[in-house]
Amino acid sequence: MLNLLKILQSNKTPSFLSALILLFSHSTICFSEDITDPINQWHSTTTIHGLYEIREEARKFIANQNSANHTKWVALDPNYKIIVPRCTVPLKVKWGPKSYGISQKSVLVYCTKSISTNNELKGWDVAVPVIPTKK
């Protein structure tokens, strides 16, 4: 970084351009994919079911629905604030019912048996918003 500062302080145009190139190349190394897609850092652990896996199940479901019905839906990210216990059985997915009062179309990724000892969390569901795409 000190060398970069020295280059920037010089009045030579080629060095300045080199410094810019160095700066931008360094920034791409520092900023990984997790910055552009923050949900990638939220994988499942032994106790928590990750939002990444929940989103991926929603995406698979939407891909199957799009293929079967010739639609063009896209699953977005679930709410980043949601934390649910690890599911002990495979996740299931269905269209979110309107009775849930969700303002936009969504799919529910749900678990019928988790590791939780809390009766309210033995089974859970997470709404994943879905939007149409123009592609």
DSSP 75-127: E-PPPTT--EEPBSS--EEEEPPGGG--SS-EEEEEES-BS-SSGGGSSEEEE
Closest CA to 57 of 70, 71, 44, 38: 44
Closest CA relative to residue 83, chosen from 38, 107, 53, 51:
51
Q: Is the pLDDT of residue 41 over 80?
A: yes
Averaged pLDDT score across all residues of the chain: 81
| pLDDT class of 14 with cuts at 50, 70, 90 | low
Taking 80 as the threshold, does the pLDDT of residue 80 lie above it? yes
Query: Higher pLDDT residue, 24 or 99?
Result: 99
Backbone angles phi, psi at 4, to 5 degrees: -60, -40
| Cβ atoms of 133 and 71 closer than 8 Å | no
Place of tokens 């060095």: 15
Average pLDDT of 24-41?
A: 60
